[in-house]
Amino acid sequence: MDIYTLDKMYRGSVLRVVAISGGRIARSKLMDLGIIPGEHLTVTKNDGNGPLIIEHHGSRLVVGTGLAGKVRVSPLNE
């Protein structure tokens, strides 16, 4: 199982959240968005410039690259 950070994933990637790194505030922000280990995400936009747009349970979420770099994911569609 390969593990990457969310900020390195491309548009269309279907992912499973493996772990969250970072401090208490970063983990709290991600948890408030529902991004926790075991959840599945789809990258809708990541052009390497600016925030990512991800889909999670039918909702679109905007996550900055700094915060996305703290989310460890494993691709489901390899």
Residue-wise pLDDT tens digits, 19-54: 999 899 999 999 999 999 999 999 999 998 889 999
What's the CATH number where 20 sits? Answer: 2.30.30.90
Task: List the 40-45 sheet strands across, edge first.
Answer: 4-5, 71-75, 14-20, 40-45, 52-56, 59-63
In the predicted model, what is the mean pLDDT of residues 6-14? Answer: 94
Q: Give the single-character DSSP code of 76.
A: S
pLDDT digits (tens, 9 = 90+) for 50-77: 899 999 999 999 999 999 999 999 999 6
Q: In total, how many domains does the chain have?
A: 1
Domain containing residue 40? 4-75
Count CB-CB contacts under 10 A for residue 43.
22
Alpha carbon distance 72, 56 (integer Å): 15
